Amino acid sequence: MIFEETYLRGAYVIDPQIIGDERGFFARAWCQKEFGAHGLVTAFVQSNLSFNKFEGTLRGMHRQIAPAEEVKLVRCTKGRIYDVIVDLRPDSPTHRQWFGVELSAENHRMLYVPAGFAHGYQTLEDNCEVFYQVSEFYTPECERGARYDDPSFGIQWPLAVSAVSPKDKNWPDYVPVL
């Protein structure tokens, strides 16, 4: 696997090394030793699957706070998404900055989302499926969110939003914990 750290410290875009022949290809999507060698979390406790019917669907921006802060490893297994993270670590030099990357069934890319980040994505076509692993169990009392259009982040989504849940639409403006 090829690990490329983003400008948000601790967040990585991960490309599998494709070994192809006339049958198709083989690639490793997870290796505990390789993740550990990069200082990344190597224990995931839950895998989630999300299906999205329509282009422009937006999910996010989600996170969990202590004691259930979670790391995510996200991959699009059908279709294409624009995956976005926002650094919400108050002591980080990139606090409130965002990073976006296209993940697709075709490019096989993954996004490693560290603890302390909000995460969300927008579908770039109909019928998208997203698979992600998380390092902590879902803990409702630790769930937090920020609006996808919070002006303090300035996220530039590629499409007009066609669908968003009421919960995601109504998260309050982000206020850092100081």
What are 68's two structure tokens? Answer: 């259930």
What is the C-alpha separation between 110 and 74, in angstroms, rounded? Answer: 5
Active site residue 112: no
Catalytic, out of 82, 121, 132, 174: 132
Catalytic, out of 62, 112, 119, 148: 62
Residue 59, phi then psi, degrees to nearest 5: -125, 125
Rg of the Cα trace of the chain?
16
Residue 105, phi then psi, degrees to nearest 5: -60, -30
Active site residue 148: no
C-beta separation of 28 from 17 below 8 A: yes
- What residues are labeled active site? 62, 132
